[in-house]
């Protein structure tokens, strides 16, 4: 149950916060604004990596039952 919850939380933060910020930034860049560098892509990749790890552990724990 904890791994399922962790996956849902990671996905919710990734979609609700990080991707929303990335979309706003890309809209501004496409509109011609010159913006400073952002770490949001690094956070997105970190959350993707965490999801892969949690889903792998979840899958192994389900198969071990």
Q: Which two tokens stand for residue 33?
A: 């604004």
In degrees and rounded to multiples of 5, residue 35 shows phi and psi of -105, 155
In the chain, what is the straight-line distance between the N-terminal and C-terminal CA atoms, in Å?
13
pLDDT at 1 over 90: no
The reported pTM is 0.84
What are the contacts of 44-48 at 24+ separation with CB within 8 A?
Answer: 44/14, 44/18, 44/19, 47/10, 47/13, 47/14, 47/18, 48/14
pLDDT in tens, 9-63: 999 999 999 999 999 999 999 999 999 999 999 999 999 999 999 999 999 999 9
Confidence of residue 65 (pLDDT cuts 50, 70, 90): confident
Q: What is the pLDDT at residue 18?
A: 97
């Amino acid at each position: 149950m904890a791994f399922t919850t962790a996956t849902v939380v990671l996905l919710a933060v990734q979609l609700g916060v990080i991707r929303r910020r990335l979309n706003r930034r890309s809209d501004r860049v496409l509109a011609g604004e010159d913006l400073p560098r952002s770490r949001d892509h690094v956070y997105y990749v970190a959350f993707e990596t965490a999801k892969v790890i949690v889903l792998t552990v979840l899958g192994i724990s389900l198969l071990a039952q």
